[in-house]
Amino acid sequence: MRRMSLLDSPSQGSAIHPAFIALKARCESREIVDLDAICIEFVAAFKQFILSYNKPSDKAMSRDVDALIKPQLSYITGGLPLPLAIGNLVKQLKQEINALSDDCTEEKGKQQLTDWLDEFVENRIQLAFQAISLFTRDKLKGAHVVLTYSWCPLVEQTLLAAHEDGVNFHVCVLDSYPCQRGKKLLNSLCKADISCSYGLITSVSHLIKQCRLVLLGCSAILSNGYALAIRGSSQVAMVAQAANIPVLLAAPTYKFVDKVQTFTEGHRSSCTALVSERMEMIPADLITAVVTELRILPPSSAPAVLRAKQLVV
Amino acid sequence: MAPSTEDSPAGIYFSELLEKDASKSTALAAIETLMSTLEKSKATTVNELTDELKKVVTAMQSTDYSSTSVKSASELFMRFISLASLDLQTFDECMKVLKERGTRFIARVAESRQKIARFAQPFIKNNSRILTHSYSKVVLEALGKVAASGTSFHVFVTESRPDFSGSRTKERLDSIGIPCTLILDSAVGYLMESIDFVFVGAEGVMETGGIINKIGTLGLAICAKAMNKPVYVMTESIKFVKEYPLNQQDIPEVFKYRASTLKENKNLADEHPLVDYTPPQYIKLLFTDLGILTPAAVGDELIKLYL
């Protein structure tokens, strides 16, 4: 697969905004890794793009912005699909842009769009994370040993918050080569004085016997209840199910997408833009519960969340 | 403020309702108690009224009747009567609307058992062999109605220790004239191969689509699944609870033990739980007044009910 290099020039005429160039570079160099972090950076880049936009006097803002976004997005994606949750965000943003009235001023239009982006990050990401931490904390109270895999900022925040609230638990961090992201989680948990152990994913069958709960992150939840997560997650979920241990998936509602897929397709389509890791599917029957900011749900309730959040396309 | 106990007037009223009519659903009694509190209330503001009703719920939960049913029914009743904006002129008009809604809610709930019985009718054919567990008023009413319509079937009911509630079921079935056999709890495995399907009630339906019911239900359901016998749950929609147990240990304690046991501060490790949690994968269908639902649909219905 040919990777787009930084020296590739964008399509003729339209200049790519430096914020997007920086975003792509940072993602490719793995400075930003998890989907939640990428999403926040993506929104920040978009905000800069909108703020630096100059509306021509003869065109309506909504149509103009819409046309300008296309080359920016195709630069970022470089022919690959956008990660599902970010694709969702872009669809909603485009709807918001189209909703701008034809006669709105540049000031007002920019204000509206940046407000929407700010609200998205605040409500759907930051506050959602807090709500998910609270819901998960109640389940952590009964489970004295928790197993988690690799690094997910939401899982990290949940564990740290629960520990601060006085819940007592031990964390088993599983990790895999070559990225060894689990070490990042291990570092922050140890700094907070949480009792941890560390193992490679090959030792999952041994470690699962000590655990009472498995907590995983994900990058998308499909409408049939299947989850998209980093490679290795479904292995952990399968072993947990065999050992009769409940599997909890932390997923804010912005990650719910109106798409159905039951297996990870071939090599090419499992690569997405911006996200450097390869993803895989976790089947719905391996997931005991999905923790969202609305409530704890069974994976089969994914369509209900899509309806509630009007994410159905 | 005096602490609410089961000796408070509300608690006594609630217990009396259930003692007088053995076939009354715990959930319905809870709602009727709330309704009577609403009618007798001397509150002058909505907040005062809500506080009063909340105290009544606490009083009912401290009796030894099924805490799950009381909790879910009360929560749904409170939501139903306060649904939609209440920006009316005076508190009196407000009360009128609340009372009217309360009466409608009770009427709806009272009909739910008949609806469930109607749904169950096509599933029970002549010469069916049905297995049931413990004592469930909903299941009894449904079986009674189906038998009255002329279908003949045989019911096997487990003794259901520690309170032998299965024998109460046998008494009721005998009095209606339905052929019934009382079996040991441990005989379920032996009998399952000759059973056609399993009917159980539920004390509470969880957000997962699973149920909380008298202890022994889980074993029965697993056995039925292993032998490919469908398990049907009969329950009114007022028993839908906003809880998500992940496993048996995750069942909230107020559901597992009687209120009196919890009050005595005993070491709960020595106490035997009264209920167990049957996860949704062992349940085929749920017969409710909202319709015949799959366990997956329960999550959707709950979102609608509690929206």
pLDDT tens sequence across A230-245: 999 999 999 999 999 9
pLDDT at B87: 62
- A225: domain CATH number is 3.40.50.10470
Q: What is the DSSP letter of B278?
A: E
Q: Nearest CA to A176 among A248, A235, A106, A95?
A: A235
One DSSP character per residue, A153-188 reads HHHHHHHHHHHHTT---EEEEEE-TTT-THHHHHHH
User: Are the Cβ atoms of A297 and B299 closer than 8 angstroms?
Assistant: yes
Determine the distance in angstroms separating the CA of B282 from the nearest CA of chain A, rounded to an integer.
Answer: 13
Looking at the fold, whether A185 and A298 belong to one and the same domain comes out as yes
Query: The tokens of B33 are what?
Result: 């108690």
Using DSSP bridges, classify how beta strands A195-200 and A279-282 pair: parallel, antiparallel or unpaired.
Answer: unpaired
Residue A248 domain flag: yes
Is A95 a member of any domain? yes
N- to C-terminal Cα separation, chain B = 33
- Does one domain contain both A147 and A294? yes
User: Are B241 and B68 a contacting pair, CB within 8 Å?
Assistant: yes
- Residue A228 pLDDT: 92
Amino acid A12: pLDDT: 43
pLDDT band at A67 (very low <50, low <70, confident <90, very high): confident
Domain annotation covers residue B220: yes
- The verdict on B175 and B268 lying in the same domain is yes
* Residue A130 within any structural domain of the chain: no
Helix H or strand E segment including B52? helix B46-61
Task: State the smallest CA–CA distance between residue A174 and chain B in angstroms.
Answer: 22
Residues B70, B158, single domain; the answer is: no
A29 domain residue, yes or no = yes
Q: Which of A54-68, A275-289, B171-185 has the highest mean pLDDT?
A: B171-185
User: Do B28 and B49 share a domain, yes or no?
Assistant: yes
Predicted complex ipTM exceeds 0.90: no
Q: What is the pLDDT of residue B171?
A: 95
Both A87 and A148 in a single domain?
Answer: no
- Structurally, chain B folds into a number of domains equal to 2
> Sorting pLDDT into bands at 50, 70 and 90, what band is A291?
very high
Domain end: A125, A152, A182, which one?
Answer: A125
Q: What is the pLDDT of residue A1?
A: 43
**The pLDDT of residue A14:** 62
- The pLDDT assigned to A139 comes to 92
User: What's the pLDDT score for residue A266?
Assistant: 57
pLDDT of residue A313: 43
Is there a contact between A226 and A259 (Cβ–Cβ < 8 Å)? no
- Chain A residues 112-141 with CB within 8 Å of chain B: 139
Number of helices (H), then strands (E), belonging to chain A: the values are 11, 10
Q: How many CB pairs under 8 A join A and B?
A: 44
- Which of B244, B296, B300 is the closest to A289 by Cβ? B244
Summarised one tens digit per residue, pLDDT across range A87-139 is 889 999 988 888 888 778 888 888 989 999 999 999 999 999 999 999 999 99
A11 lies in the same domain as A119: yes
State the average pLDDT over residues B106-116. Answer: 87
Under an 8 A CB cutoff, do B249 and A295 touch? no
User: A243 in contact with B at a CB cutoff of 8 Å?
Assistant: no
Regarding whether B78 and B48 lie in a shared domain, the answer is yes
Q: At which of A60, A92, A125 does a domain end?
A: A125
Which residue among A96, A125, A154 closes a domain? A125
What pLDDT, on the 0 to 100 scale, is given for residue B86? 60
Count the Cβ atoms, other than its own, within 10 Å of residue B42.
7
Average pLDDT over residues B282-288: 96
E strands of chain B, at which residues? 128-132, 153-158, 180-183, 197-200, 204-205, 211-214, 231-234, 275-278, 285-288, 291-293
| Mean predicted confidence (pLDDT) in A304-312 | 77
Q: What angle do CA B212, B218, B223 make, to 5 degrees?
A: 150
Question: What's the structural domain count of chain A?
Answer: 2
* Average pLDDT value for residue range A150-178: 94
Contact B207 A295 (CB under 8 A): yes
Task: Note whether residue B4 is domain-resident.
Answer: no
Distance, in Å, from the CA atom of B63 to the CA atom of B241, rounded to the nearest integer, reads 19
Same-domain pairing of B215 and B254: yes
- Smallest Cα–Cα separation from A147: which of A191, A184, A201, A183? A201
Indicate the DSSP class of residue B293.
E
User: In this prediction, what percent of chain B has a pLDDT beyond 70?
Assistant: 94
Residues B43 and B154 in one domain: no
Above 70 in pLDDT, residue B5?
A: no
Q: Is residue A86 part of a domain?
A: yes
Task: State whether B40 and B103 are in the same domain.
Answer: yes
Condensed to tens digits (0 to 9), the pLDDT of residues A176-196 reads 988 889 999 999 999 999 999
Tell me the CATH number at B278.
3.40.50.10470
Q: Is residue B3 part of a domain?
A: no
Mark whether B36 and B117 lie in a shared domain. no
Residue A9 has pLDDT above 70, yes or no: no
A141 & A228 share domain:
yes
Contact B296 A288 (CB under 8 A): no
Q: State whether A176 and A262 are in the same domain.
A: yes
Residues 209-238 of A with CB under 8 A from B: 212-213
Q: What is the extent of the structural domain holding B89?
A: 9-110
Contact between chains at B247 and A296 (C-beta distance less than 8 A): no
pLDDT tens-place string over residues B51-100 = 888 888 888 888 877 777 888 888 888 777 775 446 666 777 777 887 88
Mean pLDDT throughout B11-29?
Answer: 82
Going through A40-186 in order, the beta strands assigned E by DSSP cover: 145-149, 170-175
Domain boundary among B110, B140, B167: B110
A153 and A218 assigned to the same domain:
yes
CB contact set of A259 (below 8 Å; sequence gap of 6+): A84, A222, A223
pTM of this prediction? 0.85
Which domain range does residue A23 map to?
Answer: 2-125
- Of B78, B110, B142, which marks where a domain is finished? B110
Whether residue A11 has pLDDT greater than 60: no
Q: How many CB atoms lie within 10 A of CB B303?
A: 18
* Spatial contact of A230 and A280, defined as CB atoms under 8 Å apart: yes
Q: Are residues B86 and B195 in the same domain?
A: no
| B191 confidence band (pLDDT: 50, 70, 90) | very high
> Is residue B118 domain-resident?
yes
pLDDT tens digits for range A216-271: 999 999 999 999 999 999 999 999 999 999 999 999 999 999 988 777 665 555 67
State the pLDDT at residue A153: 93
pLDDT of residue A99: 86
Q: Which pLDDT value is given to residue A122?
A: 93
Query: Cα A292 to the chain's mean position, in Å?
Result: 13
A263 and A227 co-located in one domain: yes
A139 lies in the same domain as A11: no
CATH of the domain at B101: 1.20.120.1070
Q: Is the pLDDT of residue B4 over 60?
A: no
